[in-house]
């Protein structure tokens, strides 16, 4: 169950937390007790992942995702300054890459979902590849920045990818990520009922302290961590509650999904900050 050292501190002292999670006694980092094989992970991220398994309709909510990406680009450039090039690990359908390209940034990405990458390449004409980042032929210094949006938590071994990023980045280059914050007041208050806890798709559970320590092990200095507000559609929110909500919330979402016309639910949008998703900016050197 726990035959892997902690990726944050290197200790091998795990204790059971809850719902299939273990916590490092040395540094409080939390991860799934069982880490799936690469083959098992690949099976999780087929077309169904974006159409009912984790997202109700990812592309149907494209304008909400694009709004979040535009806001995120404003935040990271406020921290890092003008970006000339960026590489995204977990690029999915290419909506972040599209946002970056529209701002004059040279952008490329990779994802293990062949169906999503096909859309990015064929429909959006973007530089996207299907496969594993560890095998991607990228030259050192080729990109000024790397990013993982809502991706770190899905990886069985994020340390391998971050190690490669650190090797490829030029001095002063940037790494950006968003991920759930298990140290947030929301996560602490909700405990095992926290909405982000659902292995095997979510495997790694960072706090601001543990993500900074993790990145530091690879020569990346965290300069900025902030809570990330997220724009959402009523359609996507109700779908998420139907999938991952519990008790009365799930029942209410099912009822609302029947009562509210789908076209209306897609048009209704709002921005919410629960304080449990963090944007992390780190710099090499």
Tell me, what CATH number does 87's domain have? 3.40.50.150
Domain with 110 in it = 14-284
- If one counts the domains in the chain, the total is 1
pLDDT confidence of residue 69: 97
Residue 52: inside a domain: yes
Residue 5: inside a domain: no
Whole-number Å distance between alpha carbons of 214 and 220: 9
Residue 221: inside a domain: yes
pLDDT confidence of residue 257: 85
pLDDT confidence of residue 284: 98
| Structure tokens given for 135 | 């095998």
- C-alpha distances in Å from residue 222, one per residue of 281, 283, 284: 6, 6, 9
pLDDT confidence of residue 2: 57
Residue 143: inside a domain: yes
The predicted model scores a pTM of: 0.91
Residue 20, phi then psi, degrees to nearest 5: 80, 15
Residue 105: inside a domain: yes
DSSP the chain: ---S--TTT----EEE-STTEEEETTT--EEESSPPPHHHHHHHTSGGGGTTTS-S-TGGGHHHHHHHHHHHHHHHHHHH---SEEEEES-TTSHHHHHHHHTT-EEEEEES-HHHHHIIIIIS--EEEES-GGG----TTS-SEEEEES-GGG-S-HHHHHHHHHHHSPTT-EEEEEEE-TTSHHHHHHGGG-TT--TTT--EE--HHHHHHHHHTTTEEEEEEEE--EEEEHHHHHHHHHHH--THHHHHHHHHHHHS-HHHHHH-EEEE--S-EEEEEEEE-
pLDDT confidence of residue 77: 97
pLDDT confidence of residue 21: 97
pLDDT in tens, the chain (285 residues): 457 899 999 999 999 998 899 999 999 999 999 999 888 888 888 778 887 777 878 898 999 999 999 999 999 999 999 999 999 999 999 999 999 999 999 999 999 999 999 999 999 999 999 999 999 999 999 999 999 999 999 999 999 999 999 999 999 999 999 999 999 999 999 999 998 999 999 999 999 999 999 999 999 999 999 999 999 988 888 877 887 777 888 888 888 888 888 888 888 888 989 999 999 999 998
List all residues 6 or more positions away from 245 whose beta carbon is below 8 Å from its beta carbon.
Answer: 195, 253
Residue 275: inside a domain: yes
Residue 104: inside a domain: yes
Residue 3: inside a domain: no
């Amino acid at each position: 169950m726990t035959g892997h050292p902690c990726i944050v501190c290197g200790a091998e002292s795990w204790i059971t937390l809850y719902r299939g999670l273990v916590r490092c006694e040395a540094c409080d980092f939390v991860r799934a007790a069982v880490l799936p094989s690469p083959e098992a992970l690949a099976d999780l991220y087929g077309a169904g992942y974006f159409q009912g398994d984790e997202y109700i309709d990812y592309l149907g909510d494209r304008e909400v995702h694009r709004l979040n990406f535009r806001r995120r680009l404003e935040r990271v450039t406020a921290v890092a300054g003008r970006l000339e090039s960026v590489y995204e690990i977990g690029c999915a359908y290419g909506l972040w890459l599209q946002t970056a390209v529209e701002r004059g940034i040279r952008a490329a990405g990779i994802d293990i979902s062949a169906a999503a990458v096909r859309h990015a390449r064929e429909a959006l004409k973007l530089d996207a590849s299907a496969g594993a980042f560890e095998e991607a032929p990228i030259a050192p210094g080729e990109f000024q920045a790397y990013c993982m949006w809502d991706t770190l938590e899905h990886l069985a071994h994020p340390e391998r990818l971050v190690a490669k990023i650190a090797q490829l980045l030029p001095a002063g280059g940037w790494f950006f990520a968003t991920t759930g914050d298990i140290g947030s007041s929301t996560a602490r208050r909700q405990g095992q009922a926290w909405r982000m806890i659902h292995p095997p798709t979510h495997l790694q559970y960072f706090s601001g302290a543990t993500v900074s320590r993790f990145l530091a092990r690879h020569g990346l200095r965290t300069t900025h961590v902030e809570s990330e507000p997220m724009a959402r559609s009523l359609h996507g929110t109700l779908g998420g509650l139907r999938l991952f909500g519990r008790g009365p919330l799930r029942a209410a979402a099912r009822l609302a999904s029947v009562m509210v016309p789908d076209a209306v639910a897609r048009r209704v949008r709002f921005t919410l900050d629960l304080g449990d998703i963090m944007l992390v900016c780190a710099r090499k050197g």
